[in-house]
Structure formats: C-alpha cells, structure tokens
A and B are shown apart, each in its own frame.
Chain A
Amino acid sequence: MATETERLYVLPGDAIDEPLVPRHKKQPLRLGPGLRHIPPSAIVPTVAGQLVVEPRKNSMWMEYNGGRYVPAQNDLVIGQVQRSAAELYLVNLAAHTASATLPQLAFEGATKKTRPQLAQGALVYARVVLANRHMDAELECVSAATGKAEGLGPLTGGMAFDVSLGLARRLLMARSRDEGGVEVLELLGAEGLAFETAVGRNGRVWVGSDSPKTIVLVGRALRETDEGRLDVEQQRKLVKRLVREMR
C-alpha cells in the first residue's frame, strides 16, 4: 500500500513538508483528528504519532494511541447515560471527556410519544454527529439519511470492556487484520464461540453473548492483546490457550 511506505512519525508542532500534503485536483483537502490548520496554509500536528496521508481521498490524519478520547465527527462510540434532561440524554464517553448530548428523538422510529426510556447507567452505541472544539459533542443513534438504526441504539445485557484508544481504532478498521494487525475477534469466532461485539472509538468494547463464559473469554483475549501488544501470530496462540483453558 502506498500509505504504508509514507508513514512518518511527527511530534506536536512539527512542520509538515509541503510535498507530503496531498494535492487533488477536484476534492478539497480533508484534515482528520490530530491535525490543525493554521491560516493561511500551515498544517500542524497537535499530537505525537504517525502521519497518514491518503492521496486518493485527498485527506490526511494522525494515527496515535493517546490516553484521552477527543470526540470527532462520525466516530462510533459507546456512551453511558448520565442523566436525562428535558429533550435529551447526557451521555458520558470517558472520564476526562466532557459529556455529550443525545437527543431523545435521535433513535430509530422515535416520536414524542414513543421515545426510548434509558435508565441512568444504560449503554448506548451511537455516532458523533457534531464535534466542535468548545462545545459538547452531539450524538445520534439513527442514520439521518436513511432513518434506520444501522446497528446503533441501546445495548442491553452483555459487558463493556475498556481497551486503549489505539486498539479500539484498529478494531474499527475495515480490514482490521491487514491494516490494524488485530484478528483476535475473528479467531475467537472461528473457534466456534457465539458472541456479538460493538466497538466504540472512545476505548470501549461491548461484548454480548448468551454464555457469560464466552463474554469473559472475549474480554480477557481483548485485554491481553491490548496490554501485551500481541501481533497476529501471538493472538492466534493466545486464543488457542484461552479456549483450551475454558473447555
């Protein structure tokens, strides 16, 4: 892949060389998380990490494993309902992140009369629709374009595990094995365990299953992958070991 060879480690405030910035004829340049545009034309990283440039989409962003989650538009997150206000829920994303708002009508098929009742402490899988720097982020559990939930909504049962932001991001990649180097969930599924997951970009993974044993096992596999920084081969060994222990 072209992007693999061009990855460069930068520190906050480093100057980014002009040739690195993609120049597309038609599309405007898109800056992802970790980069800041300082007018007129300077682009400055705000975090330390890998600079990723995608010339086809005319976009660039930073890949980093930071400790604090900062909401960004279109992120999928797992939030925890703090309390309910008149028209919206206040949702906690992470300990050091300001709480986000989730309108009570932003659910599939919700009307003023049939809005979902979420208790304090309930988990929701949501998408960030609005993330401005000095405002609380806004979430939704329904796609504005189709009016369908598309997998978003309240999460019932199961267990939420905390993982590092880097692992959450790698799990969310479209090809998580090739690009992110995580295969642990696929391997667990291949061992015949039945479970479903929801990965939040804010460092939370929800695992649901009928058998608590499976949930514990998936949680342990995720945690050991994360803390031990295992590669795909080590993940395979870990899954074999955990499944053998369970049986």
Chain B
Amino acid sequence: MPREAEPSLNEKQFIVQALGEKLRLDGREFDQYRPLELTFGDQYGVANVTLGKTRVLAKVSAEVTVPYVDRPLDGVFTIATELGPMASPAFEVGRPTETEVLLARLLEKTVRRSGALDTESLCLVAGQKCWSVRVDVHVLAHDGNLIDASCFAVVAALRHFRKPDTSIASGQLTVYTPAEREPVPLSWLHSPFCVTWSFFGDDGETALLDATWAEEQVRVSSCTVSLNRHGEICQIAKLGGVPVEAVALLQCTAVALTKAKEFSTFLDGKLAEDAKRRNKGGFMAELSSENDR
C-alpha cells in the first residue's frame, strides 16, 4: 500500500525554525488564509471549494423517506464524508483513517447539532413521510486544513440547494418537478463556519491559521472553533496535543469571529452572484422563444 511519506527531519526542523522567525513557507501572514474560491455547479446544491491546493466538493441530495420512529416530526439530515486515495496516498476507501472520523464528527457537530438546518421543516406527513437531506463531501485534493474547507463547502452547498416543492391535498402528497413548480430552498437558520488554529513551538506559543499539509504534520496541537457571524460559538474542539494558554485561546476565538464574518460575506456574495446568473429575468423571459437572430 503506498503511503504518504512523513516529512523529513530537515523539513520538520526548518518549518519550526522559520516559524520562530515569523516566516511561513508560502510567505503568508500567520493569520492569513490561502485564496478561497467557491464555484457552484449547474445543478442546485453542488459546491466546489478550493483553498490553496486543497479542494473539496460537496453535493446535496434529497429524497422522501419514512422518519425515524422516535422522531416522527423531524426530517432526516446526514453528512457523509469520503476521503479517497485521490486526495492522498494515505487514504483508502472503506477504511476510515483518524482524520476522516474526526472530520465527519466535526462537521456533524458544527452543522447538524448546531441546528443550522431546521429539520422540523423537512417533515411532510407526521410519522409517515419526510425529506431526507444528505450531503456528500468528497475531498479531491488534500493540502491541509480539510476541516475549514469541508465545512465551508457543506454550508455553501446546503444554502445553494433547492428541494422540489410539495403539496398535500386530502392526504395525498404531491412532489412537483422543477418544470411544474420552482424548487424551494431549505429552511436555513444560521451559517456556522470552522476556523482551525494550529499551534507550534514547545508550549504552543505560535498560532497559525489555515496550516498547509506540511505544517499540519509538524504542529504540536490544533484547535477548531465553529461559530457564525454573530459570534455564536457552536463548538470548540481541541483534541489532545500540547496544552495552550487560555488567554491565547481567547485571542484565537476573537480572530476566528472576524474570519467567520469574512466567510459569511464571501458566501453571501457568491450566492447572490449565482442567483443573478440563473435568473433569466422572470417567468415571461423564460417562456419567451425569442432569440437574438
């Protein structure tokens, strides 16, 4: 089985030494993200996010199913992550690595457990029929900071998604095709974003945002803060590693808030742009058969 080479001793030493002199390998500031790009697909609910060389594709799909017995009034909402060998030689299909489990768990906590999607709105007929919304996260290229990129992709895809319109008349459920009725967006309550800090040095005194894969392999600990643009924190995960001063963590969350606000405005802008691109100028313009000829 091919496996990813650990960074060599020279690389490990140099990365730490350069960080001590306030230098990053790509010349970024410590609290600067790599260029973030977001493109939507032709279908609703497909978001392609690139963060430097990291690339994540999220796709949302919905189908009508039977709700869980213990939650008859809620819809079903799942997030599935997949790290394949395309992203890195270290990943295999069907054998989740620790990275994959942690990523899935963090996305779950950030998006699902924080109540970003109103699952009650997915209920169609109490106890009998509901929407099942599923987000598939595919990591296409792995160059560090998968968590932030995947979370952004999931939120972008869910906000871009439209589910088919439905109606209930005399107990009969009708699902309309996009030609019959315009699909409707999900009932979205707030947009959480993940901001991951990586700590370096013996006591974790150097904090970096958006670490690349090389930097991630050398870090002594990391901390992921999930919050929305109003500063409401959904979760903070600091899983093991070197302990970090509480004051430093507070500063990190303060910077995370500004980053979450930046993400939020960026996403709003992109969604508005996409809506403009799709809008052909109203119903009459769409029906018209005139052309430029």
- Chain A: residues with CB nearer than 8 A to chain B? 80, 92, 94-96, 119-123, 155-160, 206, 212-213, 215-216, 219-220, 223, 245
In this complex, the interface size class of chain B, counting residues with CB under 8 Å from chain A, is 20 to 34
Residues on B with beta carbons closer than 8 Å to the beta carbon of A213: 21, 23
Chain A residues with CB below 8 A from B3, complex form: 95
B171 at the interface (CB under 8 A from A): no
Partner of A158, one of B14, B26, B27: B14
B2, CB-defined interface residue at 8 Å: yes
Point out the residues of chain B lying under 8 angstroms from A158, CB to CB: 10, 14
From B21, which residue of chain A is reached at the shortest CB distance? A212
Inter-chain CA distance A215–B24, complex, in Å, is: 11
Scan residues 1-51 of chain B and give those whose CB is less than 8 A from a CB of chain A.
2-15, 17-18, 21, 23-27
Of B14, B15, B21, B23, the most chain A CB neighbours within 10 A belong to: B14
Given contacts A95-B5, A96-B2, 17 further A-B contacts (CB under 8 A): A95-B2, A95-B3, A121-B12, A123-B8, A158-B14, A159-B15, A159-B18, A160-B10, A160-B11, A212-B14, A212-B17, A212-B21, A216-B23, A220-B25, A220-B26, A220-B27, A245-B27
Contact A95–B89 (Cβ < 8 Å): yes
Is A95 a contact of B10 with CB atoms below 8 Å? Answer: no
Residues of chain B with a CB closer than 8 A to A216's CB:
18, 23-25, 27
Chain B hits for A95, CB < 8 A: 2-5, 89
Residue of B nearest to A79 (CB): B8
* A160/B8 contact (C-beta < 8 A), A212-B23, A216-B18 known: yes
Interface 1/0s, chain B 52-82, versus A by CB < 8 A? 0000000000000000000000000000000
Q: How far is the CB of B91 from chain A (nearest CB, A)?
A: 12
Q: Are A212 and B18 in contact (CB under 8 A)?
A: yes
Contacts of A219 in B (CB 8 A): 25
Q: How far is the CA of A156 from the CA of B8 in the complex (A)?
A: 11
Residues on B with C-beta less than 8 A from A245 are 27
Q: Which 4 A-B pairs have the closest CB atoms?
A: A159-B14, A121-B9, A212-B18, A80-B8
Please give, as numbers and ranges, the residues of chain A lying within 8 Å of B9 by CB-CB distance: 119-123
Chain B hits for A215, CB < 8 A: 14, 18
Contact A96/B89 with A80-B8, A212-B14, A212-B17 known, Cβ cut-off 8 Å? yes
Residues of A within 8 A of B12 (CB): 121
A-B contact pairs, 15 of them (CB 8 A): A80-B8, A95-B5, A96-B2, A121-B7, A121-B8, A155-B10, A156-B10, A159-B14, A159-B25, A160-B10, A212-B14, A212-B18, A212-B23, A215-B18, A219-B25
**A123: which B residues are within 8 A, CB to CB?**
8-10
A223 and B23 alpha carbons, distance in the complex (Å): 16
Please name the residue on chain B nearest to A80 by beta carbon. B8
Q: Which chain A residues border B7 with CB–CB below 8 Å?
A: 121
* Per-residue contact bits, chain B 133-170, to A (CB 8 Å; 1 contact, 0 not): 00000000000000000000000000000000000000
Residue in B closest to A158 when the chains form the complex, CB atoms: B10
Kindly list chain B residues whose C-beta atoms are within 8 Å of the C-beta of A80: 5, 8
Q: Which of A123, A160, A216 has the most CB of B within 10 A?
A: A216
**Chain B 86-117: CB-based contact to A (< 8 A → 1; otherwise 0):** 00010000000000000000000000000000
Closest Cβ–Cβ distance, residue B73 to chain A (whole Å):
50
Which of B5, B9, B15 counts the most chain A CB atoms within 10 A? B9
Bound-complex Cα distance A160 to B26 (A): 14
Per the bound structure, the CA–CA distance linking A73 and B24 in Å amounts to 36
- Compute how far the CA of A206 lies from the CA of B9 in the bound complex, rounded to whole angstroms: 12
Taking A95-B89, A96-B89, A220-B27 as contacts, is the C-beta distance between A206 and B10 under 8 angstroms? yes
A63 to chain B, nearest CB (A): 26
Q: Is the CB of B8 within 8 A of A122?
A: yes
Question: Which B-chain residue is minimally distant from A220 (CB atoms)?
Answer: B27
Docked Cα-Cα span, A223 to B17, in Å, equals 20
* Contact of A92 with B5 in the complex, beta carbons under 8 Å: yes
